[in-house]
Amino acid sequence: MKINQNGITAPATSTATLAQNTRPMPARARELLSDHQSNGLPVWIRPPRNGGVEFYTGISRSKLYELAGKGRIESRSIREPGQIKGTRLFLLKSVLDFIANCEPVAVNQDANAALQAAGGLN
């Protein structure tokens, strides 16, 4: 298990670790995992529970759902036909791309505005 800066653990994602800790995996599944997880990151992520933040991005559950609802990140619902409840998954690459495309100047502008309000900038 990996532990992030908040002390939250995440499951192992390397194919070698998965092969040791789980039942035998079909060759096609092993091939797909090796293609998509060459950087050690999962392809799909689940939203965090109990008010935490997602392990790989630090984004909250509500923000993930908000971004998916606006079409800014990709998500899928896994459920059987006719079933009411399912499992929502988010494409990690789309979340990371969204973060990379966020405007970095916005943070600096907010910090400058706070300093000006406090009388720190002339």
pLDDT tens, residue by residue, 9-65? 665 556 566 556 667 777 767 665 665 555 778 889 999 988 889 999 999 999 999
Is-contact 45 36, C-beta < 8 A?
no
Query: Which residues, other chains included, contact 91 with Cβ-Cβ below 8 Å and sequence gap of 6+?
Result: 43, 44, 73, 74, 75, 76
Please give the pLDDT value at position 16: 62
Tens digit of each residue's pLDDT (9 = 90 or more) over 70-110:
999 999 999 999 999 999 999 999 999 999 999 876 555 66
Please give the pLDDT value at position 105: 63
DSSP lists the bridge partners of residue 60 as: 53
Strand bridging mode 44-45 / 75-78: unpaired
**What's the one-letter identity of residue 4?**
N
